[in-house]
Every structure is written in C-alpha cells, then in structure tokens.
Amino acid sequence: MIMLGLIADNAPTLVEQLSDTAPIWILLVGALALLLSNAFAREREPGFLRMLALLIVGVATIAAWLRIGNPIDDLGRFVLSSTLVTDHLTAACDLLALVALAGVVGLARERGTTRETTRRAFGEREPLLLLAGAGALICIHAGDLLVVWLGVELLSIAALLTMFAGHDAVGDPAKRSALLIQLIPGAIVSCLLLLGVALIYAALGTTSLDGFAGAATRVFAQWGGVQRWVIVLERYGAEIASQDPAAHQQARNEIVRGLAPAALFLPGLLLLLGGLLTKLGLLPFARRRELVEEAPLHVTALWSTVVVVALVAVLLRVFVGALHSPRLANEPYGWTGALPSVALVTGVWASVVVLRQRRLSRVVALLALVQLSLVLLAIVAAASFHGHIGVGSRYIAPTYEILWSRLAGDEAYTAVLVLLVSHVIATVGCFAAIGASRGFRGPEVRMQHWAGMAARRPGLAVAFAICLLSLVGLPPLAGFVGKLGVLRALAEHSAMRWMIIVVALELAVCAWVVLRIIAAMYFGDETVSEPGERAEPSLWPARIATAAALLSVGLGLFGQQLLVFARLPAAGGSFEPGDDDRLEWLEQRRVSWASEGQRAVVGDEAAELEAAELEAETESESQPESQPESQPESEQRSIAPAPAPEPPAEPPA
Amino acid sequence: MTLTCMVVLVPLAVAVMVAALPRSEPALARALALLGALVELGLIVLLMSRFDPNGAALQQPFVRPWLPAYGVEWSLGVDGSELPMLLLIGLVVPLALVIGTPPRPGEPPLLVGMSSLQAAWVAVVLARDLITLAAAWELAAVATVILLGERGDGKMGVPGRTAAARRYAAYVLPGAGALIALVILVGVAHAHATGGVWSWNLDVLSQLTLPPATQYFGFALVIVVVATALPIWPLHAPLISICVSGPTQVVAAVLGVGGALALFVLMRVGLPMFPLAAGEWADPIAAVAVVGAIYAALVCWAERDPGRLLGHVALLHLSLAIVAAVSGSAGARVGLGPYLLAHGLALTVLTAVTHSLRRDGVGNLGELAGWAAVAPRALVLAMLAGLLLVGLPGSAGFIGELGIVVGVLREGELALLRPATWGLLAAASVGLGGLGLLRSLWQAGRGTPRPGLASRSSELDLRETCVCVVALGLALVMGLVPGWMVRRSEPAQRRAVEQLVLGRCLAIEASGQKSGQGRARTHQDLGDELGAVCLDPAARVRQHYGLPGAGSVEHTDTEPPGEAAP
C-alpha cells in the first residue's frame, strides 16, 4: 500500500480519497448492480431499469452536489497515486455530467419499434449508459494522461455499445452498417490518442499531470539550452571535427539529447489534441457525428452532452491548466495556433449545414456543434490570456498587464463553464422533447412531424421552443449568459476580436433555423398527424424537457448564480492541483467577488432609495407653491451615471 | 414596482393569460388581448401624465441587478424623449389587434405573440441598459419573424407568406447579430476606458469618447441593425413582401411601430455613443433616405398592387423621419413624435383597407373602377389616411412634418452639409408620393362599378370601420392638441442634442491628441486631460469642419479640417 502511495504521512486516507471521487464509484458499482437486477427486470414494467438507473445517478449527483464550493477543494489534490484529481473543476463538471446523464437515461425509450424480440429487449442499455457516465467522470477526474485515455475509451466503447443496445438502429441493416463503420475510425482515433500519450511519455518520462507543466517547461528549457551549441556547431563544426572528432561527436549527442524531448513532445501533444477533437466530432471529423446521429436519440444526446462535458474538462485540465505557458500556448509552436480556425470553420460548417437539415435530432446536434465551437474559442482565449506575457505596451504597465491577463483568462474560463452548463441543459431538453413526441420519437422525426405541435401539446412545444432559443442564445435565457461571456472574452482578445462578427452571423443563421421550427410548431398545419408508433411515450422525456426549459429560463433570469457557480472552478483552473499559489489567488478573487456582491446590494438599495426619493419629490412638486423653478443638473439625475467603484484586483487604464 | 416595470410586465401577463385559454375560444382570446392592450394604453397614458418635464432627468426608474459580474442590470426609466414612441406602441397595438379577419380557431398564438411583441417593444423603449435593450430587441425580432410566418405553411396557408417571413428574417437576423457585436464592442470599450469596470448603462456609455476607428465601426453596426428593420432603401424588399402577404395585424404593427422603433434605437444608441461618426455620416444617410423617398414617391404613382403600394408608402413616409433623426436638430426630433404617431395611425388604417382588398382577392387597383360605389367607407378612410400622411393641416402629420422641416432648416446645418436640400427634397417627395397614393385611390373609386364588383369586393365591416375612425380621430386630436406630448418630450430632446454636440466636440478634440488617440476615455477623463475644451461645442465643431458661421474659439485646431475624417 505504501508503495502504491495510498498511505503516506499527512496524506488523505484511502477512504477520504475514495470519497473524493465517490460519483465514479457509485456509477461503476451501480452499473454492475443494474446488470444483476436486469434478471428481475423482465418480469416487471419496462421502466424498471430506468428507475434504478435514475436512482443511482441521483445518488451520484447528490455526492457531487455536496462538493460544490467546498473549501476542501480550494487547493485541489491528486488522489490514488496521482491517477485521479479532485478540485472545484471536477466537482462542477461532475455535477454537470451527471445532470446530463440523468437526462439521457430519462429520455431513452423503453422499447423499439421494429421487430422487437425478447432477446433484444435485454436491458443492457442502462448499465452501459452508467458505464459511459463513469467513463466521463474518469476523464473529468483524470490526473494522468493514461487515465484520460482509459476514461475516453470507456466512454467511447460504452457509448458505441449503447447504439447497438438501441433496438431501432439494430433493426435497420443500413443503420447497422453505419454504426459498425463507427468502430473503425473510433479505433484508429484511440490508437492515435495512445500514440500521443506514448510520445509525451517518451519526452517527459511521465504521463502524470502532477508536475506536468514543470516537466513540459523543462523540455523547452533543454531545447533552448542546446540552441547555442547548434549555432556553434553550424559555424565551427568542421573545424572542431577536424581537431577533435570525439568532442564533435559528443556535442552532437548532447544536441540530440536536448532536442529530442521537444521533438517528441510536440507531435505527442498534437496527437493528443487531435484525438480529443476527433472524439468531440469537430471538422474534419464531423462526418462521424452524422453517423452517430443515425443512432437512437439517447445515444446522440449522450455524445452531444456527457461526452462534451468530459472532453472539455480534459481540455481545460490538460491544455489550459497545465499547458498555458506562453511557448506552449502561443504560436509558432503553441497548441492554440490552428484551434480557433478549426473551431470557427466547424461552427460555420454546422450553421450552414443545419439550414438544409430537416431531421430534428440532427438539427439539435448541429446546433450543439455550433455551441461546441464557441466553447473551444473560449478555451483558446482562456489559455491565451493565461499564457500572456506582460509587455507593457500601450498604456498598461507590465505588472498590471499580467494581472489583467489573469483576470481575463479567468473570465474566459468562466465563460467556458457557463456556456457548457447552458449547452448541456438546453441540448438535453431538446432531445427529451423530441423523444416525448407521439409517433416517431427518434432520429427519424422531421420538422413537418412537429407542425402544429403547439395545438396538440402546448407544454411540450413551449419547452422545446425555450430550449432551442437558449441554444441560439436568445436573451434572457441561460444560453445568452454563456454567449455573452464568450463574446466578451473574444472582444478582450485582440487577435480574436474579428471572430465576433463570424460568431454573430453563425448565431443569426442558427436563429433562423430555430425560428422556422417554432413557426411550424405554432402556425403550422394542425391537421398533420404524427406518423409512427401508436404507443404513448413515457412521461419521463416530457418531464425532462420541462425541467430543462425551466432551468434555461431560471438560469437566464438569475444568471448571476450561474456565474457564481462557474467562477470558483475558473479561478483555480490555471493552477495545478496542490499549487499554493492557487490558494492565494482564490483568496484575492474572493475579496473581489465580495466587493462585487456588495456593489450589487448597494446598487439595489440605492435604486429603491432613489425611487422613494423620487416619489417624495414628485409629491412635493405636485404642490405649485413648493415647486422650484429649475434644479441644477447634478440634482436632476435620479440615477447617477458614474461607474461603480473599481475592484481592487483590476488594472487601471 | 414602478410604472415603467408595470408597463413592461402587463403585456407579458396578458400573453400568459391568453395562452392559457383554449384554442376553441378565439373571440374570448381576442377580447382578452384587446382588454390587455387597452390597460397597457391606460398605463402608458398614466406614465406620460405623471412625467414632469421640469423634474428629474430620469423618472420612474427601475433598477435591479441581473449579472453584476458583467455589469448588466435590469434597468428601465423615462427621460421624456421616448414618450411619443410609448404612445405610438400603446395606440397601434390595440388597433392592430382588432383589424383583419374575424376571430378564428387557432388564433390565440398570434395574440400571444402580439402581446409579447408589445412587451418587447416597450422594453426597448424604456431600457436604460444596453443589454436590456438588446435583449428586448432580439425578442422583438424573434417574435416578429415568427408572427409573420403565421399560417404560412400547409394546405390552408397563405401563398407566399412563408417566403416573405423568411426573407424578412434574412434581413432582420443579421441585424440582430450586429446588435450583439455592438453591445460587446461598447462594453469592452467602457471597460478599457475605466480600467476594467463593466457597465452597459446607456447614460454611462454615452459619456464615453471612443477613438474614431471604433466610432466608425460601431456606427456601421448600428446602421446594419437599423437599416434591416427600418426599412431603408435599397433594403426595403422584405417589407414589401410582408405587406403583400403577411398577417394583417402583424403587418399593421410592424409598419406602424417597427420602423419607428428602429429610428428610436438609432437616436438612443447610435447617435450618443458614436457622435463623431454620426455627424460625419449624416449627409450620406440623409442622401440615401432622400433617394429612397424619391423612389418610393415615383412607385406610389405607378404601383397598382395594394400590398406593394402600402409598403412603398411606409418607405416613403419614413424617409423624412430618417432625415430628421440624423439632422441633429432638437426641433426636428420634437416634430418626429407627432410625425411618427401620424405614420403609425395612418398606416394602420391603410393596412386595414388594403388587406380587406387582399381578402377579396383584389391584387390590382386597376380592377376596382367604381369601388366608391361598392365600398365607400373603405375608400374614404383610405383617402383620409393618405391625407394624414401627406400632412393634412390640423392633423398630427402636419404638426410633425412642419416641425421636422423647420427644425432641419433652422438647426440642421451642424450635422448636415445641405440641410435645406435634404429636408425640402424629402418633404416634397412625401407630398408627391402622397398625391400618387391619393390619385391611385381616386382612380379606383371613380366611375361606375364593373359588373360583378359588388359581389367580389366587400365593404369594411363595422369593427374595422370603427378602428379606422378611431385612428384618424386620434391623429386629428393629437394635431389639434400637440402641446401635451411635445411639452413633455422637448426638454429631453434638447438635452440629447446638446450631449450629441458635446460628444462630437470631445471626439474631435480627442482625435487631435497625439497621445492616447486610439483609446476610449470617459468625458470626465478627457476633460481632466485636455483642460478647458468644448466650452462652446457647436462653435468648435463648426470651426473644425470649416462650416459657415464658425467663430473663433479658444482652442486652436490641431489638424486641418480636411484630415479629420480618416
């Protein structure tokens, strides 16, 4: 045990370490328990396994909820021999992934429509969904690149198998072959991911994220260190070789030893990044998503929500948290070089393709892809801000510039998380609404099937409309809060400012598509029937859609709560777990947040006071004898336009 | 809860109540929506009557934090300049709700949408925070697009309606996107000017002096937002389409309020925040408006399709309003209030008449020889509305037109190089186009009816006739007693123009500075930095551009006049 690092002085006990990562174990044990209980499910009603699965996810969600904002996580720590990590980011992403998983489990249907047999009704779907959720949580908690790979594999394989557990897809030979095709690129991507991890190991000698940033910096320090020897050999190599061949050979060896880690590290890093982006389904691999969208609805929802949360958490942990040093983040060698272009092109492609799309599940998946492109842009902005070196240009001193960049980085990080929350809620709500319709309720649902839905099921139509509008960022819904943060981050970043126009156009195109659906729902021909199966859908999808719509409205109207939820993980996001600087920075930020809260309260009270004063003033002025001829301008203003006091941590102009 | 808050919330509450009614009760739903709109009108009148022009600059404030971390707040208030717009919304929406087809099953969503649209419009007008304003604007755009597509699909749908709605969306949605970009641009500029403080308060933002490049870019975004919704020539095609095939109630509301609201946004957001660009681009904008007016006036003489004629009349009438908005004249701005009221009321009447023709299958006024004998009420009401648009003496249209023309001629020279040319040309075009409209109606009405016209064309029913009479009567009343409204809005308009000139002057001074030229600064910081400047802002602006009447001012020019604009 000691060798495994599970017991050490001043280290958390095994029980504490396990409780830190409780949601993972709950899901894993729950999946096994579900497989066992499946034996009893055949005798019972179709929703038996779903209820159990929801119960398990609920317990895991409570465990994750209890860790939200817990001061224990301020510092963050690696547990179980540095294989896993816990901090505010893991707590927030756990909660989000579990909420998404609950939605996915809930919206999955009980039975298929085509050639259903007793064998196909085998209840492997819920355990597989729980395993996929466990894989997502492992990714979120990963403290080692190998664990990242394991989590991604568990997630991918479970999600892939869930496609086959969806009876409709298996019933159609064309879809079955399409799903089988998934296996090949999926396996290739997994290999590339593993190859990337292997190259990184070869370069650093470790795959642990504990001290990863330091190891990466050492690689580049070595690289920089041998540069002068390269120059010397270039100039005087022939002379040295003629005078002392052994020294020449030794010098060459030293140079190779200095350059090799970087030569291995950079390709490894790019393979890792490429693998993650491929799993996320960004261009040029978006075709894979289309194949995924042939799958049953809950599988598409799983890929669009749970997988996104898990992989974005990995990107935040590895690339923003550990690899945001200037050389690694910025061009020419930095990982952020091509990523904005990939994200932007993906977003534009998705917003153009969605114009011609009639299948509702694909429309939602493509809208989700546009969201994902925004998330990636914000990730790049966050890393770029954190990797910014204060150069003291323009009007800001270098010290303040560094402070500003850290604050801007935290804000961009917050925007990522807020957008992720709104994205997950709205996407799950959209898929649930599609799954709640009568007749077709899978990937075959088309826009015309929903024409006149407002007359048939007004509640469902409202919920679907709200979730769709939140996806395109209509104020005052939750999606708007997220997009505002992302756009603000882009505007702060001088190299990314121009992207605002593209993003605004993307969102306008998406809004067009959404408006077309809503117009069809509310003003479409009411006589259109809903073809497909006659069985009444379960109540769960409708409940989930309603809850998602309410959350979208609530989190939009009370968007500050959403920001409060996201800013704590964001503030520690640029530090490695266990870094003492993280505690110091969090304390500074807490002071700043407190002053912000005070300003809000003071502003609120001041407004009430002013309103009361105005009322009194109006009453007194209603008496002609007491009415003054005129008032000075300074007294006339009822709301002082002067800006709020400057927070202590923010840089002056 | 203040009155401003209630004025926004009441239509929303009405929308919820109408949505709760069964679809099988369209008459009840319409009655409830109408009642709600009338209550809203009452609240607006109460708000106006309580507004004290000599009181605080901002009255009935309602401020609640929304996203304090981003400096966003729910902020509403009245400063007087928005009162005519409020009244316009309050009058046009109930009138629009009553016209069109009789209540029919499936109508409640339309009424819910109309009430939501009214709430969004009122919020745009009352918003004191740019994000609140943008949020309401986006909601209004979404609601308008959805409403315009009502019954556009399916076997029972109206031909061409879906295409028209799509076309309208294709114009409006990029404008909505541009507004978001504008919001971000201005917010970031404020943060940079204040060392990291985020605020979207309109009063605070209007105290910023942005660098020239930012001003030009920001004002271009405003133009994109406004031009796609106004409409402005040559971007008027979607408006014509919706006039031909859109739902009557929505068309009346969009024609009456939509364009006016876009102008309001131009004056509330575009001019105070980008005064330098607004001043330098005023002439091109006025020229485009005048070209649009001339084009629309000519079309009014030639067009025979009632729907297209209606759209071109709206384009024509708004052109003079655009000239007034960019002229930088307080008098013209004050005149804009009655002018837009006349615009909204007259277009509601014309929409009712032209859409009754559409319901009867009349697509060409040339087919209507002898219409006066079949539908005398419709013809008379349409002609009266045409006279109102031309500026019938004693009506609100006359007061407004007079105020605009006089204001542009007297005070427009600071923003416009040729105020007389643009003002008189636009006014003459309005007159010419109005005459074209009257001629078309007269020709349709005279003579003996063609065989079968009586069975084909029907008279306006009592409901629509009452609406038209009320609308025309209101326009007359406001023309006879304009002081009640003008007195309340005038001080705010004067203040706005003073701020505009001051902002322009400070932008000129800031652009002349060698250091800090590319940086946004608050007026206060700029004043501290530059010392006593802009003591007479109008004279300084005249001197900078070499305008006639420029006297000597204390501050010397830092660069030749011709090099001020990049």
Report pLDDT digits (tens) over A295-320.
778 888 888 899 999 999 999 998 88
Is the pLDDT reported for residue B263 higher than 90? yes
Cα–Cα separations (whole angstroms), residue B144 to B169, B250, B252, B258, B266: 9, 8, 12, 9, 19
E-assigned strands of A371-507?
Answer: none
Q: In the prediction, which pLDDT does A120 show?
A: 43
Contacts A–B by Cβ distance under 8 A = 213
Tell whether A310 and A349 lie within a shared domain. no
Which residue among A488, A492, A646 sits closest to B197, beta carbon to beta carbon? A646
- Tens digit of each residue's pLDDT (9 = 90 or more) over A168-210: 555 566 666 666 666 777 888 889 999 999 999 998 888 888 8
Of residues B321 and A397, the one with the higher pLDDT is: B321
Tell whether A126 and A184 lie within a shared domain. yes
Cβ-Cβ contacts under 8 Å for B357 (sequence gap 6 or more): B306, B368, B457
User: What mean pLDDT is predicted for residues A431-445?
Assistant: 77
Domain count, chain B: 2
Tell whether A571 and A585 lie within a shared domain. no
Residue A626 is assigned to a structural domain of this protein = no
Q: In the prediction, which pLDDT does A471 show?
A: 92
Of residues B505 and B517, the one with the higher pLDDT is: B505
Q: In the prediction, which pLDDT does B563 show?
A: 40
Tell whether B393 and B508 lie within a shared domain. no
Q: In the prediction, which pLDDT does A341 show?
A: 86
Cα–Cα separations (whole angstroms), residue B70 to A376, A482, A549, B187, B250: 21, 11, 24, 9, 35
Task: List, as ranges, residues 154-193 from B with C-beta within 8 Å of A.
Answer: 154-157, 162, 165-166, 169-170, 173-174, 176-178, 180-181, 184-185, 187-188, 190, 192-193
Q: In the prediction, which pLDDT does A623 show?
A: 47
Average pLDDT over chain A, rounded to an integer: 79
Q: In the prediction, which pLDDT does B520 show?
A: 83
Residue A111 is assigned to a structural domain of this protein = yes
Is the pLDDT reported for residue A331 higher than 80? no
Q: In the prediction, which pLDDT does B398 show?
A: 93
3-state secondary structure A451-464: CCHHHHCHHHHHHH
Tell whether A177 and A229 lie within a shared domain. yes
Binned at pLDDT 50, 70 and 90, residue A609 comes out as low
- Yes or no, beta carbons of B54 and A652 under 8 Å apart: no
- Tens digit of each residue's pLDDT (9 = 90 or more) over B155-203: 667 778 888 888 888 888 888 888 988 998 899 889 888 877 888 999 9
Q: In the prediction, which pLDDT does A337 show?
A: 75
Is the pLDDT reported for residue B378 higher than 60? yes
A399 interface with B at CB cutoff 8 Å: no
B145 interface with A at CB cutoff 8 Å: yes
Cα angle A526, A529, A532 (rounded to 5 degrees) comes to 150
User: What mean pLDDT is predicted for residues A638-646?
Assistant: 35
A511 interface with B at CB cutoff 8 Å: yes
Residue B298 is assigned to a structural domain of this protein = yes
Burial B201-237 (b: 16+ CB within 10 A, else e): bbbbbbbbbbbbebbbbbbbbbbbbbbbbbbbbebbe
Interface pTM, i.e. ipTM: 0.80
Instruction: Report the C-alpha gap between A573 and A569 in whole angstroms.
Output: 6
Instruction: Tell me which residue range forms the domain holding B359.
Output: 283-481
Is the pLDDT reported for residue A327 higher than 70? no
Tell whether B476 and B555 lie within a shared domain. no
Which of A97-111, A383-397, B340-354 has the highest mean predicted lDDT (pLDDT)?
Answer: B340-354
Tell whether A302 and A432 lie within a shared domain. no
Binned at pLDDT 50, 70 and 90, residue A591 comes out as confident
Q: In Å, how far is B59's CA from the nearest CA of chain A?
A: 7
Q: In the prediction, which pLDDT does B167 show?
A: 86
Domain count, chain A: 3
- Tens digit of each residue's pLDDT (9 = 90 or more) over A131-156: 999 999 999 999 999 999 999 999 98
Is the pLDDT reported for residue B365 higher than 50? yes
Residue A630 is assigned to a structural domain of this protein = no
Chain A positions in Cβ-Cβ contact with residue B106 (cut-off 8 Å): 455, 526
Share of chain A above pLDDT 70, in %: 76
Binned at pLDDT 50, 70 and 90, residue A49 comes out as confident
Which residue among B69, B178, B196 sits closest to A650, beta carbon to beta carbon? B196
Of residues B513 and A633, the one with the higher pLDDT is: B513
Residue A250 is assigned to a structural domain of this protein = yes
Contact A83, A21 (CB under 8 A): no
Task: Return the amino acid letter for A51.
Answer: M
Cα–Cα separations (whole angstroms), residue B225 to B183, B262, B319: 12, 8, 17
Which residue among B62, B180, B197 sits closest to A504, beta carbon to beta carbon? B180
Is the pLDDT reported for residue B240 higher than 60? yes
Least confidently predicted of A336-340, A623-627, B250-254, B490-494: A623-627
Is the pLDDT reported for residue B515 higher than 50? yes
Q: In the prediction, which pLDDT does A137 show?
A: 95
- Of B447, B481, B515, which closes a domain? B481
User: What mean pLDDT is predicted for residues B240-261?
Assistant: 92
Is the pLDDT reported for residue B228 higher than 70? yes
Q: Which residue has the tokens 């819910």?
A: B112
Tell whether A250 and A112 lie within a shared domain. yes
Is the pLDDT reported for residue A247 higher than 80? yes
Tell whether B360 and B502 lie within a shared domain. no
Residue B462 is assigned to a structural domain of this protein = yes
Tell whether A567 and A587 lie within a shared domain. no
Backbone angles phi, psi at B66, to 5 degrees: -110, -65
Is the pLDDT reported for residue A70 higher than 90? no
Average pLDDT over chain B, rounded to an integer: 87
Residue A294 is assigned to a structural domain of this protein = yes
Instruction: Tell me which residue range forms the domain holding A49.
Output: 14-323
User: What mean pLDDT is predicted for residues B114-118?
Assistant: 94
Contact A176, A335 (CB under 8 A): no
Burial class (CB in 10 A: 0-12, 13-18, 19+), B428: middle
Tell whether B467 and B551 lie within a shared domain. no
User: What mean pLDDT is predicted for residues B234-252?
Assistant: 89
Q: In the prediction, which pLDDT does A71 show?
A: 85
Residue A8 is assigned to a structural domain of this protein = no
Which residue among A395, A508, A603 sits closest to B177, beta carbon to beta carbon? A508
Tell whether A410 and A270 lie within a shared domain. no
- Yes or no, beta carbons of A653 and B185 under 8 Å apart: no
- Yes or no, beta carbons of A603 and B65 under 8 Å apart: yes
H/E stretch holding B467: helix B462-480
Share of chain A above pLDDT 90, in %: 27
Least confidently predicted of B54-63, B76-85, B130-139, B448-457: B448-457
Residue A423 is assigned to a structural domain of this protein = yes
- Yes or no, beta carbons of B152 and A643 under 8 Å apart: no
Is the pLDDT reported for residue A634 higher than 60? no
B42 interface with A at CB cutoff 8 Å: no
Residue B278 is assigned to a structural domain of this protein = no
* Probe site for chain B from A417, A498, A515 (most B CB atoms < 10 A): A515
Residue A644 is assigned to a structural domain of this protein = no
Tell whether A153 and A168 lie within a shared domain. yes
Residue B174 is assigned to a structural domain of this protein = no
CA proximity to A289, closest of A277, A280, A276: A280
Cα–Cα separations (whole angstroms), residue A328 to A50, A272, A335, A341, B496: 45, 14, 6, 17, 51
- Of A323, A349, A365, which closes a domain? A323
Of residues A368 and A625, the one with the higher pLDDT is: A368
User: What mean pLDDT is predicted for residues B485-491?
Assistant: 90
Cβ-Cβ contacts under 8 Å for A29 (sequence gap 6 or more): none
Binned at pLDDT 50, 70 and 90, residue B293 comes out as very high
Binned at pLDDT 50, 70 and 90, residue A5 comes out as very low
Of residues B105 and A425, the one with the higher pLDDT is: A425
Binned at pLDDT 50, 70 and 90, residue A332 comes out as low
- Yes or no, beta carbons of A492 and B65 under 8 Å apart: no
What is chain B's percent helix, strand, coil content, to nearest 5?
70, 5, 25
Q: In the prediction, which pLDDT does A293 show?
A: 58
Task: Return the amino acid letter for A84.
Answer: L
Binned at pLDDT 50, 70 and 90, residue A284 comes out as low
